[in-house]
Structure 1
Amino acid sequence: MNYLKAILVMLFLLFVVIVVVQNYQPFSTGVKFRIDLIFFKYETSEMSLYFVTIISFLVGIVLAGLCGIFERFHLKKRIKTLMKNIKEKDEELSSLRNLPVTAEDISLKQISDT
């Protein structure tokens, strides 16, 4: 399995290198971002498209990681609640198993069987 993972990582890196080499000129062009609101205007300095792409990729990784962390905490909380519920049900079941059988219970069972 580790070999397969290593091969997939190498293929992905090869793909990234091919894309970078073939698109060097378009990615090296400079871009500026501008916000033009009625009460606020802002323009960034010129930066290469490589930089914008890498920053976008890293922001995506961080956001996906945060979503994963929140999901993991939610699932841990749910597991804890379900385990508590199982423990309560087990205690209830063991207490019901330990109840004595009375003559009244036997007569009710005989009536329901007929």
Structure 2
Amino acid sequence: MQTDEKTLRRVRAMTFSSVYPLLLAKVERKGRTESELHEVIRWLTGYDDARIDELTSDETTYQEFFAEADLNPNASLITGAVCGVRVEEIEDPVMQQVRYLDKLVDELARGRKMEKILR
């Protein structure tokens, strides 16, 4: 699936620090913890907790966030729909990686077991 250029520019320019509180609120509303959210982020990106904490307080854009990440080789096993879009069909690499994270957070919030989330 192709994403229009205006949306791509907007998503790439969003800061991780502006999105992180929304991700955290989503999982906490469903009874999950910040520790579990960090576990998911660590699995996908290779960042450690100290780096995640740094990223939640600086102005790193989503594009920079994923460019610096050591993406998990099993990330391509993340499939399914987020906001009606199948993540495996997204053509833009940054947008696909953003949706990978969204999908993992959705699964965490839905109560899926961590062993299944971390493919």
TM bin (shorter chain): under 0.3
The TM-score, its normalising length taken from structure 2, stands at 0.24
Higher fraction of helix = 1
Highest CA radius of gyration, 1 or 2? 1
Relative contact order: is structure 1 or structure 2 higher (C-alpha 8 Å, sep ≥ 6)? 2
Higher fraction of strand = 1
